[in-house]
C-alpha cells in the first residue's frame, strides 16, 4: 500500500510528495528534523520531540511553518492515515524554497513533510548477543561550530563516521570530540556501566540531547541506579563492565566489543538487559 505523506498543509499520495530543487534543505542541508517512534498506535514522547524540534529551529533562526498544536495534529493524522501501529516517523522542516546562494532570507516560508512507516534498524539477534563497534577517526563537529543540541539536516559528519563503521564490517562507530572525549555514536547516545554506576557523556561533549537518552536516565534512577554525567575517554570504554547505546530507532542495545576489544565478559550485561526491559515496558505503556 502506497504511503500517505504529510506535505506542508495536508496529506498527499507518496508519488506526489515532492519538494523543489531550490529548497534550501536540499541545497544546503538547511533544516531540522525529528525521528519519532510509534508503539501500539501511540506516538512516543511526542511533546518532547516537538519541543526539541522547535528549539532546534529557533537556534538556527528558522521560522516554523505551523504552531505546535497544529503540528502535533498533523503527526497523528499521518500515523492514522498509514495505519502505523509499531513504526517510525520522520518529521522534517526545511528552510524552504529560495534562490541559489547561502542567503536564507530569500526563503519566504519553511517547508514541512512527515513520513510514517515501519522501521527495523538492527536485527533482533543483535539485541540478544550485542553489537560490535569501532572508534571513528572522524571527529565530532566542534560545539562552537554547530551546537550538538540542534538536530539539523546536515548529517555529513555522522555519515562519514558511519562509513568507517561499515568499512570495518560493524554497524556503529563511536565519535570523539576535538578534546578526545566521547561524544556519541553516529546515530545513538553512548552509555557505560562501571562498578554498577551508569555513566553518560554530557551534552556539552558533543552529543545530541536524546529523547530516549532522557527516558533511560529516568528509568535507571527509578531502579535505584546511580547515574553520572561526565566526560568519558576511549580508555573508559575499553575497561567498562557494560556498554550500551540508546536512540529512537535503536531503543536500548548492548555493545560487546569496541576496536576488537571485548567489553566485560563479552555478553550483554545485566544492567543493559534491565534497562532494555524497562524501556520496552515504558514505551508500550506497561510500565510507568
**Catalytic choice (108, 109, 132, 151):** 151
User: Is 151 among the catalytic positions?
Assistant: yes
**DSSP character string of the chain:** -PPEEEETTEEEEGGG----TTBHHHHH--EEEEEEEEETTEETTHHHHHHHHHHHHHHTTPPPSS-HHHHHHHHHHHHHHTT-SSEEEEEEEE--B--SSS-GGG--S-EEEEEEE---SS-HHHHHH-EEEEE-SSPPPPTTTS-TT--BS--HHHHHHHHHHHHTT-SEEEEE-TTS-EEEESSSEEEEEETTEEEE--GGGT----HHHHHHHHHHHHTT-EEEE----HHHHHH-SEEEEEETTTEEEEEEEETTEEPTTSS--HHHHHHHHHHHHHHTTS--
- How many CA atoms are closer than 13 Å to the CA of 195, on its beta-carbon side? 2
Active site residues: 151
Amino acid at each position: 500500500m502506497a504511503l500517505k505523506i504529510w506535505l506542508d498543509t495536508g496529506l498527499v499520495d507518496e508519488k506526489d510528495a515532492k519538494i523543489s530543487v531550490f529548497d534550501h534543505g536540499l541545497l544546503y542541508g538547511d533544516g531540522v528534523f525529528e525521528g519519532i517512534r510509534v508503539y501500539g498506535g501511540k506516538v512516543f514522547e511526542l511533546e518532547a520531540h516537538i519541543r526539541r524540534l522547535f528549539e532546534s529551529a529557533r537556534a538556527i533562526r528558522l521560522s516554523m511553518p505551523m504552531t505546535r498544536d497544529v503540528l502535533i495534529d498533523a503527526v497523528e493524522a499521518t500515523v492514522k492515515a498509514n495505519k502505523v501501529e509499531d513504526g517510525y516517523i520522520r518529521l522534517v522542516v526545511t528552510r524552504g524554497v529560495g534562490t541559489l546562494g547561502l542567503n536564507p532570507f530569500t526563503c519566504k516560508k519553511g517547508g514541512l513533510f512527515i513520513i510514517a512507516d515501519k522501521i527495523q534498524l538492527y536485527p533482533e539477534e543483535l539485541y540478544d548477543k550485542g553489537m560490535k563497534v569501532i572508534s571513528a577517526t572522524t571527529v565530532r563537529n566542534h560545539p562552537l561550530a554547530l551546537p550538538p543540541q540542534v538536530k539539523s539536516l546536515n548529517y555529513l559528519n555522522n555519515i562519514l563516521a558511519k562509513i568507517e563503521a561499515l568499512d570495518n564490517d560493524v554497524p556503529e562507530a563511536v565519535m570523539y570530540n576535538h578534546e578526545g572525549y566521547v561524544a556519541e555514536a553516529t546515530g545513538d547516545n553512548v552509555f557505560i556501566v562501571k562498578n554498577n554506576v551508569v555513566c553518560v557523556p554530557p551534552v556539552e561533549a558533543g552529543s545530541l540531547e536524546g529523547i530516549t537518552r532522557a527516558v533511560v536516565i529516568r528509568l535507571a534512577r527509578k531502579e535505584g541506579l546511580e547515574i553520572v554525567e561526565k566526560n568519558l575517554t576511549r580508555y573508559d570504554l575499553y575497561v567498562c563492565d557494560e556498554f550500551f547505546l540508546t536512540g529512537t530507532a535503536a531503543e536500548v542495545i548492548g555493545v560487546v566489543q569496541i576496536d576488537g576489544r571485548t567489553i566485560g565478559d563479552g555478553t550483554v550485561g545485566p544492567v543493559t538487559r534491565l534497562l532494555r526491559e524497562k524501556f520496552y515496558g515504558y514505551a508500550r505503556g506497561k510500565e510507568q
